[in-house]
Amino acid sequence: MNACHKLVFIGEPGAGKTTCIAALSDIAPVTTDVGCTDDLARRKASTTVALDYGEMDLGEQGMLRLYGLPGQERFRFMFDVVRDGAMGLVVLVDAASAQGLDGLAGTLATYADELRQRPFVLCLNKHPDPPMAFRERCMAMLRDQGLVAPLLVIDARSRSDLAQVFRMLCLLLDHGDYPVLDGERGGA
Amino acid sequence: MRLACHQFLATDVEALRSLLRLLESYLRNRWEVVERIDRDIDLVLVNLDHPAPAPLPDGLNRIDCAARPRLRHRACIHRPLRASEILTVLNDAVSAEARPVCAAVSAPTGRHRLAAWPLQLDGWHDDALRILATLTSRAATQAEIVAATGVAPARVDVVLSRLRDQGLLELATQRVPPAPRIVHGNVVPGRWRALATRVGRLLGLPA
Ligand SMILES: Nc1nc2c(ncn2[C@@H]2O[C@H](COP(=O)(O)OP(=O)(O)O)[C@@H](O)[C@H]2O)c(=O)[nH]1
Ligand SMILES: [Mg+2]
């Protein structure tokens, strides 16, 4: 029986969720970006307000299903779709913009309790070498929520960077204690 | 001292034996390559490039080897093995006999709690990352870390004190009940690593 693993990307609009899934997916990613009328529209012409989906065929090791979810509270209900069997999460932060910190604050406010139950990697994106002060702010936000996670600097377009993120997540899973991941084996 | 090779080709092992003969006069200890990997092994060389990584017993002193070591971590050495690296690694190795003594001396009573990961991971080798990964989901004693990571107690202590120096580690003072260890009934240790290797290949990381 082939295993099905779910990997979830969450982050503010513009943080790089669609980019990550496009870089990884074997199939054309299903992206539900739509035009926005609110203040987001000024930041990004087309932005994720719903779910991104992609797949990576791992051969004998099953299928990796990739989901991109917005960080804002009003889309929280969508996590129900991915909760069962989610091996872990990638929290994306736009490190090129000061608003990235606000986005992270929003994502953590929405998802802190989910993040406590699963391994996740905090990925600073869109900046080759984010300043230490920026990294410190991100880590302080995690600490404030009682969360502990590795911080990686990535380029969301780079498949090898994403492979490193995946490796890190697997390291956390191999050495950590996390609740049994229901549905992990189900080939839904 | 006893040295073993984990998941290497027989030809690699033979090459290592000839290398040891060549290096004999430069080595601090006499080393022999043995086939069986047990708890008395002083050092295990691990081939990270093997397509189906097999788990090793906990508590072993290990050195990772890979064709592209710089893509792995700083403490990883080249495969095929290079004389200069082998010389350093063997001369630095602590014998298996010496290790339990270190553990007894330094075993702390409290649990270490990780407050945060380092802001950048350059210079933290694979052993350290395993320790960090262990402490991410729970506070643990030194002995528990050794059991969960397979890293030698003396090296665990080095990593813990480095984390403490950076203000990233707290010692849980009151006696915390052990974090519930959730057993993944049908999960083979190291299975996620195998999955990561698979994904890495698909994404074009070198084998
Ligand atoms: N330079 C650079 N641009 C990026 C990176 N990641 C994403 N982008 C760009 O940032 C914009 C927003 O990314 P997107 O994946 O759509 O964000 P999403 O709203 O989270 O899905 C796109 O124009 C991407 O091309 C990165 O690592 N570096
Ligand atoms: Mg998007």
- Number of residues written out for chain B: 207
- CATH code for the domain in which residue A105 is found: 3.40.50.300
Q: SS3 for B149-183, per residue? A: HCCCHHHHHHHHHHHHHCCCEEEECCCCCCCCCCC
Q: Please state which architecture CATH assigns to domain B2-103.
A: 3-Layer(aba) Sandwich (3.40)
Q: B117–A150: do the CB atoms touch at under 8 Å?
A: yes
Q: B137–A142: do the CB atoms touch at under 8 Å?
A: no
Pocket test for ligand 1, best of A8, A9, A18, A19 (most atoms within 8 A of CB): A19
Asked if B54 has any chain A CB less than 8 Å from its own CB, the reply is no
Q: Which residues 71-110 of chain A have a CB within 8 Å of chain B?
A: 87
pLDDT value of residue B100: 43
Domain encompassing residue A37: 4-175
Residues with CB under 5 A from ligand 2 (ion): A 18, 48
Q: What is the pLDDT of residues A163-183, one digit of tens each?
A: 999 999 999 999 988 864 544
| Angle ∠(A118,A123,A127) on CA atoms, nearest 5 | 175
Pick the CATH number of B108-202 from 1.10.10, 1.10.287, 1.20.140, 1.25.40: 1.10.10
pLDDT value of residue A33: 58
Contacts of B129 in chain A (CB under 8 A): 168, 171
> Which atom belonging to ligand 1 lies closest to the Cα atom of A92?
20
Determine the distance in angstroms separating the CA of B136 from the nearest CA of chain A, rounded to an integer. 6
Residue A24 Cα, ligand 2 centroid: separation in angstroms?
14
Q: Is residue A89 in a domain?
A: yes
* The model's pTM: 0.70
Domain segments of chain B: what residues? 2-103, 108-202
Q: Is residue A187 in a domain?
A: no
Contacts of A130 in chain B (CB under 8 A): none
* Residue with CA nearest ligand 1 atom 2: A126
Which ligand has the nearest atom to the CA of A16?
A: 1
Question: Which residue of chain B is at minimal alpha-carbon distance from A122?
Answer: B117
Residues forming beta bridges with residue A34, ordered by sequence position: A47
Which ligand has the nearest atom to the CA of A153?
A: 1
Q: What is the pLDDT of residues A109-132, one digit of tens each?
A: 999 999 998 999 999 999 999 999
pLDDT value of residue A153: 97
* Residue with CA nearest ligand 1 atom 11: A14
> Which atom belonging to ligand 1 lies closest to the Cα atom of A9?
20
Asked if A4 has any chain B CB less than 8 Å from its own CB, the reply is no
* Residue with CA nearest ligand 1 atom 26: A126
Give, for all 207 residues of chain B, the pLDDT tens digit. Answer: 999 999 999 999 999 999 899 888 888 889 999 998 887 888 999 998 998 888 887 777 888 898 888 777 767 889 989 888 888 888 777 665 655 433 333 444 678 999 999 999 988 999 999 999 999 999 999 888 988 888 999 999 999 999 999 999 988 754 444 544 444 333 345 789 999 999 999 998 876
Q: Which of B62, B14, B52 is nearest to B207 (CA)?
A: B52
Contacts of B196 in chain A (CB under 8 A): 163, 166-167, 169-171
Q: Is residue A181 in a domain?
A: no
CA dihedral sign of residues B75, B57, A163, A21: negative
Residue A48: burial class (beta carbons within 10 Å; 0-12, 13-18, 19+) = buried
Q: Which residue has the tokens 């397509």?
A: B51
Q: Which two tokens stand for residue B64?
A: 């990772």
Residue A59: burial class (beta carbons within 10 Å; 0-12, 13-18, 19+) = exposed
Contacts of B130 in chain A (CB under 8 A): 171, 175
Q: Is residue A124 in a domain?
A: yes
Q: Is residue A183 in a domain?
A: no
Contacts of B111 in chain A (CB under 8 A): none
pLDDT value of residue B174: 45
Q: B198–A59: do the CB atoms touch at under 8 Å?
A: yes
Residue A43 Cα, ligand 2 centroid: separation in angstroms?
13
Give how many domains chain A has, as a whole number.
1
